[in-house]
Structure 1
Amino acid sequence: MADNPHDPAMREINAQYTHPSGILVSGHYRKGHGYTCYRPEGTRDWLIMYTISGKGLINNGAGDYLECTERTITIVSPGTLQDFFTAEGYVWEKLWAHFLPRFTWADWLPAGHTGGPVFQLHIDNDSTSRAIESAFQRVLAYRLDSDALLRDELTMNALEEIILNVASQNRQQTKTDPRISEVLDILAARYMDEHMIEDLAASVSLSPSRLSHLFKEQVGDSIIETLVKYRLNQAEKMLRYTLRPITEIALDVGFHSPDYFTRRFTGSFGVSPSQYRKQQLDKVY
Protein backbone atom coordinates (compact mmCIF):
# COMPACT_ATOMS: atom_id res chain seq x y z
CA MET A 1 0.00 0.00 0.00
CA ALA A 2 1.18 3.55 -0.68
CA ASP A 3 2.60 5.45 2.28
CA ASN A 4 1.56 8.98 1.31
CA PRO A 5 -1.67 10.59 0.09
CA HIS A 6 -0.30 11.44 -3.36
CA ASP A 7 0.44 7.86 -4.41
CA PRO A 8 -1.85 6.23 -7.03
CA ALA A 9 -3.14 3.67 -4.54
CA MET A 10 -4.54 6.40 -2.31
CA ARG A 11 -6.07 8.26 -5.24
CA GLU A 12 -7.83 5.02 -6.18
CA ILE A 13 -9.19 4.65 -2.64
CA ASN A 14 -10.55 8.18 -2.62
CA ALA A 15 -12.10 7.74 -6.07
CA GLN A 16 -14.08 4.74 -4.82
CA TYR A 17 -15.61 6.57 -1.87
CA THR A 18 -18.96 7.02 -3.59
CA HIS A 19 -19.16 3.31 -4.48
CA PRO A 20 -21.06 0.71 -2.43
CA SER A 21 -19.55 -0.68 0.77
CA GLY A 22 -16.51 -2.90 0.43
CA ILE A 23 -12.87 -3.45 1.23
CA LEU A 24 -10.64 -1.23 -0.89
CA VAL A 25 -7.16 -2.40 0.09
CA SER A 26 -5.94 -4.89 2.70
CA GLY A 27 -2.70 -6.57 3.66
CA HIS A 28 -0.31 -8.17 6.14
CA TYR A 29 2.83 -6.15 7.02
CA ARG A 30 6.01 -6.88 8.96
CA LYS A 31 7.90 -3.59 8.99
CA GLY A 32 10.98 -2.64 10.98
CA HIS A 33 11.96 0.76 12.34
CA GLY A 34 11.95 3.28 9.51
CA TYR A 35 8.49 2.32 8.23
CA THR A 36 6.23 5.39 8.34
CA CYS A 37 2.88 6.48 6.99
CA TYR A 38 1.77 10.12 7.01
CA ARG A 39 -1.47 11.35 5.45
CA PRO A 40 -2.33 14.76 6.93
CA GLU A 41 -5.87 14.78 5.52
CA GLY A 42 -6.48 11.10 6.14
CA THR A 43 -8.58 9.22 3.59
CA ARG A 44 -12.27 9.05 2.81
CA ASP A 45 -12.53 5.46 3.97
CA TRP A 46 -12.05 3.75 7.33
CA LEU A 47 -8.76 2.11 8.32
CA ILE A 48 -8.59 -0.84 10.72
CA MET A 49 -5.32 -2.34 11.98
CA TYR A 50 -4.71 -5.38 14.20
CA THR A 51 -1.24 -5.72 15.71
CA ILE A 52 0.05 -9.30 15.84
CA SER A 53 3.44 -8.53 17.38
CA GLY A 54 6.01 -5.78 17.89
CA LYS A 55 5.06 -2.16 18.38
CA GLY A 56 3.85 0.74 16.30
CA LEU A 57 3.02 4.29 17.32
CA ILE A 58 0.05 6.26 15.98
CA ASN A 59 -0.96 9.88 16.43
CA ASN A 60 -4.39 9.96 18.09
CA GLY A 61 -5.32 13.04 16.05
CA ALA A 62 -4.86 15.33 19.04
CA GLY A 63 -1.07 15.33 19.18
CA ASP A 64 -0.44 12.34 21.45
CA TYR A 65 0.97 9.01 20.27
CA LEU A 66 -0.67 5.70 21.18
CA GLU A 67 1.12 2.36 21.26
CA CYS A 68 -0.03 -0.39 18.90
CA THR A 69 1.08 -3.57 20.64
CA GLU A 70 0.16 -7.26 20.43
CA ARG A 71 -3.64 -7.79 20.31
CA THR A 72 -4.39 -4.09 19.83
CA ILE A 73 -7.13 -3.04 17.41
CA THR A 74 -6.80 0.49 16.02
CA ILE A 75 -9.58 2.11 13.97
CA VAL A 76 -9.17 5.44 12.17
CA SER A 77 -12.30 7.18 10.88
CA PRO A 78 -12.52 9.03 7.54
CA GLY A 79 -10.81 12.41 7.30
CA THR A 80 -8.62 11.77 10.36
CA LEU A 81 -4.89 12.41 10.28
CA GLN A 82 -3.02 9.16 9.59
CA ASP A 83 0.41 9.38 11.19
CA PHE A 84 1.91 6.07 12.30
CA PHE A 85 5.24 4.27 12.24
CA THR A 86 7.21 1.35 13.67
CA ALA A 87 8.67 2.08 17.11
CA GLU A 88 12.45 2.16 17.40
CA GLY A 89 13.93 -1.26 18.17
CA TYR A 90 10.83 -3.18 17.01
CA VAL A 91 9.40 -4.98 14.01
CA TRP A 92 5.71 -4.14 13.71
CA GLU A 93 3.57 -6.99 12.38
CA LYS A 94 -0.03 -6.10 11.63
CA LEU A 95 -3.08 -6.98 9.57
CA TRP A 96 -4.97 -4.04 8.07
CA ALA A 97 -7.75 -3.00 5.71
CA HIS A 98 -9.16 0.19 4.23
CA PHE A 99 -12.92 -0.18 3.87
CA LEU A 100 -16.28 1.49 3.34
CA PRO A 101 -18.68 0.05 5.94
CA ARG A 102 -22.12 -1.35 5.46
CA PHE A 103 -24.79 0.90 6.91
CA THR A 104 -25.70 -1.84 9.34
CA TRP A 105 -22.33 -1.37 11.05
CA ALA A 106 -23.20 2.15 12.19
CA ASP A 107 -23.92 1.07 15.77
CA TRP A 108 -20.87 -1.18 15.93
CA LEU A 109 -18.12 1.11 14.68
CA PRO A 110 -16.85 2.73 17.88
CA ALA A 111 -16.09 6.38 18.41
CA GLY A 112 -12.60 7.43 19.51
CA HIS A 113 -12.03 7.49 23.26
CA THR A 114 -8.28 8.09 23.34
CA GLY A 115 -8.28 11.88 23.63
CA GLY A 116 -8.64 12.16 19.86
CA PRO A 117 -10.62 10.68 16.95
CA VAL A 118 -8.63 7.42 16.78
CA PHE A 119 -10.22 4.41 18.49
CA GLN A 120 -8.02 1.80 20.13
CA LEU A 121 -8.84 -1.34 22.09
CA HIS A 122 -6.70 -4.10 23.55
CA ILE A 123 -8.30 -7.52 23.07
CA ASP A 124 -7.92 -9.32 26.41
CA ASN A 125 -9.97 -12.41 25.60
CA ASP A 126 -7.94 -15.25 24.01
CA SER A 127 -10.78 -16.69 21.93
CA THR A 128 -11.77 -13.24 20.65
CA SER A 129 -8.17 -12.51 19.70
CA ARG A 130 -7.95 -15.77 17.74
CA ALA A 131 -11.31 -15.08 16.07
CA ILE A 132 -10.22 -11.61 14.94
CA GLU A 133 -6.92 -12.83 13.53
CA SER A 134 -8.63 -15.74 11.77
CA ALA A 135 -11.25 -13.43 10.24
CA PHE A 136 -8.53 -11.04 9.06
CA GLN A 137 -6.71 -13.93 7.37
CA ARG A 138 -9.97 -14.84 5.60
CA VAL A 139 -10.33 -11.24 4.43
CA LEU A 140 -6.93 -11.55 2.74
CA ALA A 141 -7.61 -15.03 1.36
CA TYR A 142 -10.97 -14.12 -0.17
CA ARG A 143 -9.55 -11.00 -1.84
CA LEU A 144 -6.82 -13.08 -3.48
CA ASP A 145 -9.20 -15.81 -4.66
CA SER A 146 -10.43 -14.57 -8.02
CA ASP A 147 -12.42 -17.79 -8.58
CA ALA A 148 -14.51 -17.55 -5.40
CA LEU A 149 -18.22 -17.02 -5.97
CA LEU A 150 -19.56 -13.94 -4.16
CA ARG A 151 -15.97 -13.03 -3.22
CA ASP A 152 -16.85 -9.47 -2.18
CA GLU A 153 -19.69 -10.67 0.06
CA LEU A 154 -17.48 -13.29 1.70
CA THR A 155 -14.77 -10.69 2.30
CA MET A 156 -17.18 -8.20 3.85
CA ASN A 157 -18.75 -10.91 6.01
CA ALA A 158 -15.31 -11.75 7.39
CA LEU A 159 -14.67 -8.07 8.13
CA GLU A 160 -18.11 -7.80 9.73
CA GLU A 161 -17.10 -10.61 12.08
CA ILE A 162 -14.08 -8.51 13.13
CA ILE A 163 -16.23 -5.40 13.67
CA LEU A 164 -18.74 -7.37 15.75
CA ASN A 165 -16.03 -8.90 17.94
CA VAL A 166 -14.49 -5.47 18.54
CA ALA A 167 -17.89 -3.95 19.37
CA SER A 168 -18.62 -6.79 21.80
CA GLN A 169 -15.28 -6.41 23.56
CA ASN A 170 -15.66 -2.64 23.69
CA ARG A 171 -19.09 -2.86 25.32
CA GLN A 172 -17.79 -5.31 27.91
CA GLN A 173 -14.84 -3.09 28.77
CA THR A 174 -16.74 0.22 28.82
CA LYS A 175 -19.38 -1.15 31.20
CA THR A 176 -22.57 0.16 29.65
CA ASP A 177 -25.19 0.85 32.31
CA PRO A 178 -27.12 -2.43 32.64
CA ARG A 179 -30.43 -0.56 32.44
CA ILE A 180 -29.45 0.88 29.05
CA SER A 181 -28.27 -2.56 27.92
CA GLU A 182 -31.67 -3.94 28.90
CA VAL A 183 -33.49 -1.28 26.86
CA LEU A 184 -31.19 -1.97 23.88
CA ASP A 185 -32.00 -5.68 24.16
CA ILE A 186 -35.73 -4.90 24.19
CA LEU A 187 -35.46 -2.68 21.10
CA ALA A 188 -33.28 -5.20 19.25
CA ALA A 189 -35.60 -8.13 19.98
CA ARG A 190 -38.86 -6.25 19.38
CA TYR A 191 -37.84 -3.70 16.73
CA MET A 192 -41.12 -4.22 14.87
CA ASP A 193 -43.26 -3.14 17.85
CA GLU A 194 -44.30 0.31 18.99
CA HIS A 195 -42.53 1.41 22.17
CA MET A 196 -43.52 4.12 24.63
CA ILE A 197 -40.64 5.75 26.50
CA GLU A 198 -42.77 5.69 29.65
CA ASP A 199 -43.11 1.89 29.40
CA LEU A 200 -39.42 1.37 28.70
CA ALA A 201 -38.51 3.61 31.61
CA ALA A 202 -40.81 1.74 33.98
CA SER A 203 -39.30 -1.60 32.92
CA VAL A 204 -35.84 -0.44 34.13
CA SER A 205 -37.06 1.64 37.11
CA LEU A 206 -36.10 5.03 35.69
CA SER A 207 -38.10 8.17 35.00
CA PRO A 208 -38.73 8.83 31.28
CA SER A 209 -36.54 11.96 31.33
CA ARG A 210 -33.69 10.17 33.11
CA LEU A 211 -33.85 7.23 30.71
CA SER A 212 -33.84 9.53 27.67
CA HIS A 213 -30.84 11.47 28.97
CA LEU A 214 -28.82 8.40 30.01
CA PHE A 215 -29.63 6.54 26.78
CA LYS A 216 -28.50 9.46 24.60
CA GLU A 217 -25.35 9.87 26.69
CA GLN A 218 -24.31 6.22 26.42
CA VAL A 219 -25.62 5.21 23.01
CA GLY A 220 -25.18 8.47 21.11
CA ASP A 221 -28.67 8.40 19.58
CA SER A 222 -32.14 8.86 21.00
CA ILE A 223 -34.33 5.86 21.71
CA ILE A 224 -36.48 6.61 18.67
CA GLU A 225 -33.51 6.97 16.32
CA THR A 226 -32.01 3.76 17.65
CA LEU A 227 -35.28 1.93 17.04
CA VAL A 228 -35.38 3.29 13.47
CA LYS A 229 -31.82 2.05 12.92
CA TYR A 230 -32.75 -1.43 14.10
CA ARG A 231 -35.68 -1.44 11.69
CA LEU A 232 -33.56 -0.22 8.78
CA ASN A 233 -30.87 -2.79 9.56
CA GLN A 234 -33.42 -5.60 9.40
CA ALA A 235 -35.01 -4.20 6.25
CA GLU A 236 -31.58 -4.02 4.59
CA LYS A 237 -31.03 -7.73 5.25
CA MET A 238 -34.45 -8.60 3.83
CA LEU A 239 -33.77 -6.55 0.69
CA ARG A 240 -30.38 -8.17 0.26
CA TYR A 241 -31.34 -11.79 0.90
CA THR A 242 -35.03 -12.08 -0.08
CA LEU A 243 -37.32 -11.06 -2.93
CA ARG A 244 -40.22 -10.07 -0.68
CA PRO A 245 -42.18 -6.99 -1.82
CA ILE A 246 -40.73 -3.74 -0.46
CA THR A 247 -44.06 -2.61 1.02
CA GLU A 248 -44.35 -5.91 2.88
CA ILE A 249 -40.81 -5.53 4.24
CA ALA A 250 -41.55 -1.98 5.42
CA LEU A 251 -44.64 -3.10 7.34
CA ASP A 252 -42.95 -6.18 8.80
CA VAL A 253 -40.07 -4.22 10.33
CA GLY A 254 -42.37 -1.65 11.92
CA PHE A 255 -42.82 1.19 9.41
CA HIS A 256 -46.53 1.90 9.04
CA SER A 257 -45.93 4.14 6.02
CA PRO A 258 -44.03 2.66 3.03
CA ASP A 259 -43.31 6.20 1.84
CA TYR A 260 -41.72 7.11 5.17
CA PHE A 261 -39.71 3.89 5.04
CA THR A 262 -38.42 4.80 1.58
CA ARG A 263 -37.41 8.29 2.75
CA ARG A 264 -35.56 6.99 5.80
CA PHE A 265 -33.90 4.17 3.88
CA THR A 266 -32.79 6.52 1.10
CA GLY A 267 -31.47 9.02 3.64
CA SER A 268 -29.37 6.33 5.31
CA PHE A 269 -28.20 4.27 2.34
CA GLY A 270 -28.06 6.95 -0.36
CA VAL A 271 -30.33 4.96 -2.68
CA SER A 272 -33.97 3.89 -2.58
CA PRO A 273 -34.91 0.38 -1.41
CA SER A 274 -35.57 -0.75 -5.00
CA GLN A 275 -32.23 0.64 -6.19
CA TYR A 276 -30.44 -1.00 -3.27
CA ARG A 277 -31.98 -4.39 -4.10
CA LYS A 278 -30.92 -3.99 -7.75
CA GLN A 279 -27.33 -3.23 -6.65
CA GLN A 280 -27.25 -6.41 -4.58
CA LEU A 281 -28.67 -8.53 -7.40
CA ASP A 282 -26.13 -7.07 -9.83
CA LYS A 283 -23.33 -8.25 -7.51
CA VAL A 284 -24.66 -11.81 -7.72
CA TYR A 285 -25.31 -11.91 -11.46
Structure 2
Amino acid sequence: MKENESPADSIQPDSGFVLAGHFRENDSYSTSRPAGMKDWLIAYTIDGEGYFEVPNERHACKSHDIVILRTGTPHRYGTAEGGHWHFFWAHFDDAMIPRQWLPDSPLFLLSIDNESVRKRIHRAFMKILSDSRERGDYWNELCVQSLTEMMILLTRRRQSRMDGRVEETLHLLSRQMREPVRIERIARAVGLSPSRLSHLFKENTGLSIVDTVNRMRIRQAALLLEHTERGSSEIAFDVGFHNYNHFINQFHKWQGMSPTSYRKSKRGR
Protein backbone atom coordinates (compact mmCIF):
# COMPACT_ATOMS: atom_id res chain seq x y z
CA MET A 1 0.00 0.00 0.00
CA LYS A 2 1.31 3.45 -0.89
CA GLU A 3 2.13 6.04 1.74
CA ASN A 4 -0.97 7.91 3.00
CA GLU A 5 -3.21 5.58 1.02
CA SER A 6 -6.53 4.44 2.42
CA PRO A 7 -7.33 0.70 2.37
CA ALA A 8 -10.21 1.57 0.08
CA ASP A 9 -7.72 2.72 -2.58
CA SER A 10 -6.31 -0.77 -2.92
CA ILE A 11 -9.60 -2.69 -2.50
CA GLN A 12 -12.35 -1.49 -4.79
CA PRO A 13 -15.68 -2.80 -3.46
CA ASP A 14 -17.80 -4.99 -5.69
CA SER A 15 -21.38 -3.92 -6.34
CA GLY A 16 -23.34 -4.09 -3.10
CA PHE A 17 -20.23 -4.46 -0.95
CA VAL A 18 -19.62 -2.45 2.25
CA LEU A 19 -16.01 -1.74 3.18
CA ALA A 20 -15.47 -0.10 6.59
CA GLY A 21 -12.78 0.83 9.10
CA HIS A 22 -12.09 2.47 12.45
CA PHE A 23 -9.03 4.75 12.52
CA ARG A 24 -7.20 6.95 15.02
CA GLU A 25 -4.59 8.96 13.11
CA ASN A 26 -2.09 11.75 13.85
CA ASP A 27 -1.60 14.77 11.61
CA SER A 28 0.67 12.91 9.19
CA TYR A 29 -2.42 11.12 7.85
CA SER A 30 -3.98 12.24 4.58
CA THR A 31 -5.59 10.66 1.52
CA SER A 32 -5.90 12.30 -1.90
CA ARG A 33 -8.06 11.11 -4.80
CA PRO A 34 -7.98 13.70 -7.62
CA ALA A 35 -10.29 11.57 -9.76
CA GLY A 36 -12.69 10.65 -6.96
CA MET A 37 -13.88 7.08 -6.42
CA LYS A 38 -16.42 4.71 -7.92
CA ASP A 39 -18.31 4.46 -4.64
CA TRP A 40 -19.62 6.70 -1.84
CA LEU A 41 -17.83 7.44 1.41
CA ILE A 42 -19.37 8.11 4.82
CA ALA A 43 -17.17 9.17 7.76
CA TYR A 44 -18.15 9.84 11.39
CA THR A 45 -15.78 11.68 13.74
CA ILE A 46 -15.65 10.29 17.28
CA ASP A 47 -13.16 12.81 18.63
CA GLY A 48 -10.28 14.98 17.47
CA GLU A 49 -10.53 16.78 14.14
CA GLY A 50 -10.15 15.95 10.49
CA TYR A 51 -10.83 17.83 7.28
CA PHE A 52 -12.31 17.19 3.84
CA GLU A 53 -11.41 19.14 0.72
CA VAL A 54 -13.41 19.09 -2.51
CA PRO A 55 -13.07 21.58 -5.38
CA ASN A 56 -13.40 25.12 -3.96
CA GLU A 57 -14.38 23.89 -0.50
CA ARG A 58 -12.70 22.81 2.72
CA HIS A 59 -14.62 21.52 5.73
CA ALA A 60 -13.43 20.78 9.26
CA CYS A 61 -14.81 17.59 10.82
CA LYS A 62 -15.07 17.69 14.60
CA SER A 63 -16.61 15.39 17.20
CA HIS A 64 -20.01 14.04 16.12
CA ASP A 65 -19.73 15.45 12.59
CA ILE A 66 -20.67 13.08 9.80
CA VAL A 67 -19.61 13.49 6.17
CA ILE A 68 -21.02 11.84 3.05
CA LEU A 69 -18.91 12.14 -0.09
CA ARG A 70 -20.57 11.51 -3.42
CA THR A 71 -19.16 9.06 -5.93
CA GLY A 72 -16.83 10.62 -8.52
CA THR A 73 -16.03 13.70 -6.42
CA PRO A 74 -12.34 14.73 -6.44
CA HIS A 75 -11.27 15.04 -2.83
CA ARG A 76 -8.60 15.03 -0.19
CA TYR A 77 -8.99 14.36 3.52
CA GLY A 78 -6.85 13.91 6.59
CA THR A 79 -6.10 14.86 10.18
CA ALA A 80 -6.09 18.53 11.17
CA GLU A 81 -2.65 19.97 11.83
CA GLY A 82 -1.28 19.43 15.32
CA GLY A 83 -3.96 17.02 16.47
CA HIS A 84 -5.45 13.57 16.04
CA TRP A 85 -8.51 12.24 14.23
CA HIS A 86 -10.53 9.34 15.60
CA PHE A 87 -13.23 8.26 13.14
CA PHE A 88 -15.27 5.52 11.48
CA TRP A 89 -15.48 5.26 7.72
CA ALA A 90 -17.32 3.13 5.19
CA HIS A 91 -17.34 2.90 1.40
CA PHE A 92 -20.49 1.67 -0.30
CA ASP A 93 -22.14 1.31 -3.69
CA ASP A 94 -25.07 3.68 -4.24
CA ALA A 95 -27.10 0.79 -5.68
CA MET A 96 -27.48 -0.43 -2.09
CA ILE A 97 -29.25 2.72 -0.83
CA PRO A 98 -32.45 4.31 -2.23
CA ARG A 99 -31.51 7.49 -4.05
CA GLN A 100 -33.81 9.69 -1.95
CA TRP A 101 -31.72 8.86 1.13
CA LEU A 102 -28.50 10.13 -0.43
CA PRO A 103 -27.63 13.86 -0.46
CA ASP A 104 -27.45 15.73 -3.76
CA SER A 105 -24.33 17.76 -3.00
CA PRO A 106 -20.80 16.45 -3.72
CA LEU A 107 -20.01 16.73 -0.01
CA PHE A 108 -22.61 16.71 2.74
CA LEU A 109 -21.65 17.50 6.35
CA LEU A 110 -23.99 17.33 9.32
CA SER A 111 -23.23 17.90 13.00
CA ILE A 112 -25.21 15.37 15.05
CA ASP A 113 -26.59 17.27 18.04
CA ASN A 114 -28.95 14.51 19.17
CA GLU A 115 -27.42 12.12 21.70
CA SER A 116 -29.65 9.17 20.84
CA VAL A 117 -28.82 9.53 17.12
CA ARG A 118 -25.10 9.70 17.97
CA LYS A 119 -25.40 6.43 19.87
CA ARG A 120 -27.33 4.73 17.07
CA ILE A 121 -24.80 5.81 14.44
CA HIS A 122 -21.93 4.63 16.64
CA ARG A 123 -23.65 1.25 17.15
CA ALA A 124 -24.38 0.94 13.43
CA PHE A 125 -20.71 1.42 12.55
CA MET A 126 -19.69 -1.06 15.24
CA LYS A 127 -22.13 -3.62 13.83
CA ILE A 128 -20.75 -3.11 10.32
CA LEU A 129 -17.22 -3.67 11.57
CA SER A 130 -18.21 -6.73 13.61
CA ASP A 131 -20.27 -8.37 10.87
CA SER A 132 -17.64 -7.72 8.18
CA ARG A 133 -14.92 -9.24 10.38
CA GLU A 134 -16.90 -12.30 11.46
CA ARG A 135 -18.04 -13.04 7.88
CA GLY A 136 -20.90 -15.23 9.11
CA ASP A 137 -23.96 -16.08 7.06
CA TYR A 138 -25.53 -13.02 5.43
CA TRP A 139 -22.78 -10.80 6.81
CA ASN A 140 -22.93 -8.35 3.89
CA GLU A 141 -26.73 -8.11 4.13
CA LEU A 142 -26.34 -7.26 7.83
CA CYS A 143 -23.80 -4.55 6.95
CA VAL A 144 -26.21 -3.09 4.40
CA GLN A 145 -28.98 -3.04 7.02
CA SER A 146 -26.77 -1.09 9.44
CA LEU A 147 -25.75 1.32 6.70
CA THR A 148 -29.41 1.77 5.72
CA GLU A 149 -30.31 2.59 9.32
CA MET A 150 -27.71 5.37 9.34
CA MET A 151 -28.94 6.79 6.05
CA ILE A 152 -32.55 6.85 7.26
CA LEU A 153 -31.52 8.61 10.49
CA LEU A 154 -29.52 11.19 8.53
CA THR A 155 -32.30 11.74 5.99
CA ARG A 156 -34.80 12.31 8.78
CA ARG A 157 -32.44 14.75 10.51
CA ARG A 158 -31.60 16.50 7.23
CA GLN A 159 -35.26 17.06 6.41
CA SER A 160 -36.38 17.93 9.93
CA ARG A 161 -36.88 21.53 11.00
CA MET A 162 -37.13 20.48 14.62
CA ASP A 163 -34.55 21.51 17.19
CA GLY A 164 -32.23 18.61 18.01
CA ARG A 165 -32.93 18.96 21.73
CA VAL A 166 -36.64 18.57 21.09
CA GLU A 167 -35.96 15.44 19.02
CA GLU A 168 -33.89 14.07 21.88
CA THR A 169 -36.73 14.86 24.29
CA LEU A 170 -39.18 12.94 22.10
CA HIS A 171 -36.81 9.98 22.12
CA LEU A 172 -36.50 10.08 25.90
CA LEU A 173 -40.26 10.34 26.30
CA SER A 174 -40.81 7.31 24.08
CA ARG A 175 -38.35 5.28 26.14
CA GLN A 176 -39.89 6.41 29.42
CA MET A 177 -43.52 6.40 28.28
CA ARG A 178 -44.72 4.16 31.14
CA GLU A 179 -43.01 6.28 33.79
CA PRO A 180 -44.28 9.51 35.39
CA VAL A 181 -43.19 12.57 33.39
CA ARG A 182 -40.25 14.31 35.06
CA ILE A 183 -39.55 17.43 33.04
CA GLU A 184 -36.68 18.51 35.31
CA ARG A 185 -34.78 15.27 34.63
CA ILE A 186 -35.38 15.43 30.89
CA ALA A 187 -34.30 19.09 30.82
CA ARG A 188 -31.01 18.19 32.50
CA ALA A 189 -30.45 15.41 29.98
CA VAL A 190 -30.80 17.77 27.01
CA GLY A 191 -28.96 20.70 28.63
CA LEU A 192 -31.85 23.13 29.11
CA SER A 193 -33.78 24.60 32.00
CA PRO A 194 -37.26 23.09 32.51
CA SER A 195 -38.98 26.34 31.49
CA ARG A 196 -36.84 26.75 28.36
CA LEU A 197 -37.40 23.13 27.35
CA SER A 198 -41.18 23.41 27.84
CA HIS A 199 -41.31 26.57 25.71
CA LEU A 200 -39.05 25.17 22.97
CA PHE A 201 -40.95 21.89 22.90
CA LYS A 202 -44.34 23.59 22.50
CA GLU A 203 -42.89 25.90 19.85
CA ASN A 204 -41.55 22.96 17.81
CA THR A 205 -44.37 20.43 18.22
CA GLY A 206 -47.48 22.47 19.01
CA LEU A 207 -48.08 20.35 22.13
CA SER A 208 -46.93 20.38 25.72
CA ILE A 209 -44.64 17.63 26.96
CA VAL A 210 -47.43 16.09 29.06
CA ASP A 211 -49.88 16.12 26.14
CA THR A 212 -47.26 14.51 23.92
CA VAL A 213 -46.67 11.68 26.40
CA ASN A 214 -50.40 11.07 26.75
CA ARG A 215 -50.82 11.00 22.97
CA MET A 216 -47.99 8.45 22.72
CA ARG A 217 -49.67 6.32 25.36
CA ILE A 218 -53.07 6.47 23.68
CA ARG A 219 -51.64 5.64 20.26
CA GLN A 220 -49.97 2.58 21.74
CA ALA A 221 -53.17 1.67 23.60
CA ALA A 222 -55.14 1.91 20.35
CA LEU A 223 -52.79 -0.57 18.68
CA LEU A 224 -53.12 -2.98 21.60
CA LEU A 225 -56.91 -2.71 21.57
CA GLU A 226 -57.00 -3.43 17.85
CA HIS A 227 -54.49 -6.27 17.71
CA THR A 228 -54.61 -8.02 21.11
CA GLU A 229 -57.25 -9.48 23.41
CA ARG A 230 -56.03 -7.67 26.52
CA GLY A 231 -58.65 -5.85 28.55
CA SER A 232 -58.84 -2.06 28.61
CA SER A 233 -57.67 -1.81 32.22
CA GLU A 234 -54.66 -4.01 31.48
CA ILE A 235 -53.80 -1.94 28.43
CA ALA A 236 -54.12 1.29 30.43
CA PHE A 237 -51.49 -0.01 32.84
CA ASP A 238 -49.32 -1.35 29.98
CA VAL A 239 -48.97 2.11 28.43
CA GLY A 240 -48.41 4.03 31.69
CA PHE A 241 -51.81 5.04 33.07
CA HIS A 242 -52.26 4.11 36.73
CA ASN A 243 -55.69 5.71 36.95
CA TYR A 244 -58.27 4.03 34.70
CA ASN A 245 -60.62 7.04 34.64
CA HIS A 246 -57.73 9.22 33.47
CA PHE A 247 -57.04 6.68 30.72
CA ILE A 248 -60.71 6.82 29.61
CA ASN A 249 -60.64 10.63 29.53
CA GLN A 250 -57.42 10.74 27.55
CA PHE A 251 -58.66 8.12 25.13
CA HIS A 252 -61.77 10.21 24.45
CA LYS A 253 -59.57 13.28 23.98
CA TRP A 254 -57.25 11.72 21.39
CA GLN A 255 -59.51 9.15 19.70
CA GLY A 256 -62.94 10.72 20.09
CA MET A 257 -64.53 7.58 21.58
CA SER A 258 -64.19 5.11 24.41
CA PRO A 259 -61.70 2.22 24.29
CA THR A 260 -64.59 -0.26 23.97
CA SER A 261 -66.11 1.61 21.05
CA TYR A 262 -62.71 1.92 19.40
CA ARG A 263 -62.11 -1.84 19.63
CA LYS A 264 -65.57 -2.60 18.23
CA SER A 265 -65.09 -0.20 15.34
CA LYS A 266 -61.74 -1.76 14.38
CA ARG A 267 -62.88 -5.34 14.81
CA GLY A 268 -66.06 -4.60 12.87
CA ARG A 269 -64.06 -3.43 9.87
- Fold agreement, TM-score > 0.5: yes
CA contact (8 A) 1:2 1:8 kept: no
Aligned partner of 1:52 among 34, 39, 46:
46
Residue 113 of structure 2 corresponds to residue 129 of structure 1: no
Q: What residue number does 1:62 align with? A: 55
Letter in 1 for 2:32: Y
Structure 1: gaps (5+ residues):
176-285
Residue 145 of structure 2 corresponds to residue 157 of structure 1: yes
Letter in 2 for 1:130: K
For residues 27 and 56 of structure 2, what CA distance do their matches in structure 1 show?
A: 21
Q: After superposition, where does 1:128-277 map in structure 2 within 5 Å?
A: 128-146=117-135, 148-173=136-161
Q: Indicate how the Cα distance of structure 1 residues 150 and 76 shifts in structure 2: closer, same or farther if over 3 A, else same.
A: same
SS at match of 2:85: strand
For residues 86 and 8 of structure 1, what CA distance do their matches in structure 2 show?
A: 16
CA contact (8 A) 1:43 1:78 kept: yes
Instruction: Pick the structure with greater CA Rg.
Output: 2
Count, aligned residues: 163
For residues 45 and 34 of structure 1, what CA distance do their matches in structure 2 show?
A: 25
Deviation at 1:149, TM superposition (A): 1.5
Letter in 2 for 1:120: L
Letter in 1 for 2:110: L
Letter in 2 for 1:165: L
Q: What residue number does 2:17 align with? A: 22
Q: What residue number does 2:31 align with? A: 37
1:44-74: CA deviations, max 9, x gaps? 0001000000101111x23221010111110
Letter in 1 for 2:82: G
SS at match of 1:111: coil
CA contact (8 A) 1:71 1:123 kept: yes
Deviation at 1:88, TM superposition (A): 1.3
Q: Indicate how the Cα distance of structure 1 residues 104 and 34 shifts in structure 2: closer, same or farther if over 3 A, else same.
A: closer
For residues 8 and 123 of structure 1, what CA distance do their matches in structure 2 show?
A: 26
Deviation at 1:172, TM superposition (A): 1.1
Residue 84 of structure 2 corresponds to residue 91 of structure 1: yes
Deviation at 1:34, TM superposition (A): 1.1
Name the stretch that deviates more: 94-103 or 39-48: 94-103
Q: Indicate how the Cα distance of structure 1 residues 9 and 171 shifts in structure 2: closer, same or farther if over 3 A, else same.
A: closer
CA contact (8 A) 2:4 2:30 kept: no
For residues 110 and 162 of structure 2, what CA distance do their matches in structure 1 show?
A: 11
For residues 132 and 170 of structure 1, what CA distance do their matches in structure 2 show?
A: 15
Deviation at 1:2, TM superposition (A): 6.3
SS at match of 2:20: strand
Deviation at 1:111, TM superposition (A): 1.8
Q: What residue number does 2:179 align with? A: none
Identity %: 32
Residue 107 of structure 2 corresponds to residue 108 of structure 1: no
SS at match of 1:92: strand
For residues 106 and 22 of structure 1, what CA distance do their matches in structure 2 show?
A: 17
Letter in 2 for 1:29: F
CA contact (8 A) 2:132 2:139 kept: yes
1:194-216: CA deviations, max 9, x gaps? xxxxxxxxxxxxxxxxxxxxxxx
Q: Indicate how the Cα distance of structure 1 residues 58 and 8 shifts in structure 2: closer, same or farther if over 3 A, else same.
A: closer
Structure 2: gaps (5+ residues):
164-269
Deviation at 1:102, TM superposition (A): 3.6
1:150-198: CA deviations, max 9, x gaps? 11111110111111111111111599xxxxxxxxxxxxxxxxxxxxxxx
Letter in 1 for 2:153: N
CA contact (8 A) 1:3 1:36 kept: no
Q: What residue number does 2:75 align with? A: 82
For residues 8 and 133 of structure 1, what CA distance do their matches in structure 2 show?
A: 21
For residues 144 and 57 of structure 1, what CA distance do their matches in structure 2 show?
A: 28
For residues 22 and 96 of structure 2, what CA distance do their matches in structure 1 show?
A: 26
SS at match of 2:72: coil
Letter in 2 for 1:50: Y
1:120-142: CA deviations, max 9, x gaps? 11111110011001100000000
